[in-house]
């Protein structure tokens, strides 16, 4: 299992903004991976990706 982190220092004011950013990130870089877990960490996003 790989753990990937994307730096993201922006402060979001609503769940809608968080969800929109997460959708952008997922569309941009993780289209071909199997994602086990996505977490919003202090200053970024953490993804646990299943290795095949």
Does the pLDDT of residue 19 top 80, yes or no?
A: yes
Pick the closest to residue 25 from 5, 42, 41 (CA basis). Answer: 5
In the chain, what are the domain boundaries? 2-50
Q: What is the mean pLDDT of residues 18-41?
A: 76
Grade residue 33 by pLDDT with cuts at 50, 70 and 90: low
d(CA 22, CA 16): 10
Higher pLDDT, 32 or 37: 37
């Amino acid at each position: 299992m790989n753990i990937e982190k994307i730096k993201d220092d922006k402060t979001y004011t609503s769940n809608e903004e968080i969800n929109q950013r997460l959708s952008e990130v997922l569309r941009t870089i993780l289209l071909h991976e199997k994602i086990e877990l996505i977490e919003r960490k202090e200053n970024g996003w953490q993804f646990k990706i299943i290795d095949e």
